[in-house]
Chain A
Amino acid sequence: MQDMKPDNIVGEHREQTLSFHDGTQRKVFTTETETPIPDGRLIVSRTDLKGMITHVNRSFIDMSAYQEEELIGEPHNILRHPDMPSAAFKDLWDTVQGGKKWHGYVKNLRNDGGYYWVYATVIPNVRGGKIIGYTSVRRKPSRKKVLEAEALYKTLS
């Protein structure tokens, strides 16, 4: 995955390097700007078995600040924020690969360096008894739950 581009970042930012489970790395830039999900919106995406994005809806594009063509074919962890503990994603993958539904609170990274909190649910897409991909739906969480998740993730990072 490509590093983030400093030209896309809005405002004062911090540079960090993320390391993924497959050994790859990505340079990211983060700001303190939060963009809440507008009320009533659902962010929807689908990935293949390797976590590569195959479908996004309008709300996904708007919230991520990427163009659709920049997202399709990219790994879903293009949204990974350095404040998220890798243990949360390990739990996600272990759960959905086992054929079960996963849900949790996630801080996502935008293309402009800002972030947005979501309550995410991921389910395996089962066809003819086989998992063919995953669907993820993210929605607006309550502030109380975000504060709880933030405190928990600080202890896990």
Chain B
Amino acid sequence: MMTYNFSVSPDFNPSHISGWYIFNTWLQRTINEDIHLELYDNFELQRKAIADDQLDLIYANPFDAALLVREKGFTPIACPSNQSDEAIIAVNNESTITTIEALNEGTRISSTDDPDVRMMCMIMLEPAGLGSHNTVLNQRDTYVLVAKDLLKGDADVGFFLEETYNDLSDFIRKDLRPLVRSQIQVIHHLLLAGPKLAHKRDEIAAVLLAMKDDSKGKGVLESLNFEQWNAVEQEETEFMIDLMDTLTAE
């Protein structure tokens, strides 16, 4: 029997690691296929796996979805119903900065290498006349390290995926303050099937959509903090990719 490779966008919430393993086990049993779950520590490693055509199933962020659909022949399967990708720019609670427009050239940014969060946050800095040419970027491996940069005064602003910001411990979050939150609403992660798994796409979509009605499936959804999966049509994904295209640098 052929083994398919499954991966999750490296910006997944660390507390959901076990949830993804549980999901993978459930999916293998349900569709009767061997699927190996490979979680990458960073985007660079996962991009290499994508470039080398090593992946057959991906829970991808919207930035990578564009590449996967347009260049690698992946097709959208489903997306979680209660998750849209929004970003937060936060400051130290004691910072005198209260609006984006109060930020000046030379602003020190702390960010992970999460491409869609970085893109959304850089767009939110534009009203202050700031861009990559007149800011200083410190790249960190995790959002906790971004938060620490703010707490120690090593950065003026920090870029966060909203979900991850909300999952920071109360101890860290009480000393931070969101400066602005994106309200894009139409950008979200989604599960995509690669060409080798294309013949199973409709079957996977059907079992995912039915998960919420099954007690075992419901438990798996809970481990990922998803309410349910929603169907995603090709055109809906193409629209999201077009939107991402408008946002990427000229």
Contacts and interface: CB of A to CB of B under 8 A. Distances in A.
B246 A101 contact: yes
Counting chain A CB atoms within 10 Å of each CB, which of B129, B180, B184, B247 scores highest? Answer: B184
A141 B100 CA distance: 12
B127 A140 contact: yes
A121 B180 contact: no
A137 B250 CA distance: 13
A122 interface: yes
Contacts, number: 64
A136 B126 contact: no
Interface residues on A, range: 20 to 34
Interface string B218-250: 000000000000000000001100110111001
A125 B181 CA distance: 28
B182 interface: yes
B186 A101 contact: no
Nearest to B181: A40
Interface string B61-102: 000000000000000000000000000000000000001110
Interface of A: 38-42, 44, 46, 57-59, 101, 103, 119, 121-123, 125, 127, 135-137, 139-145
Interface of B: 99-101, 123-124, 126-129, 180-186, 238-239, 242-243, 245-247, 250
11 contacts: A39-B99, A39-B124, A40-B180, A42-B182, A101-B245, A125-B238, A136-B246, A137-B243, A137-B246, A140-B126, A143-B129
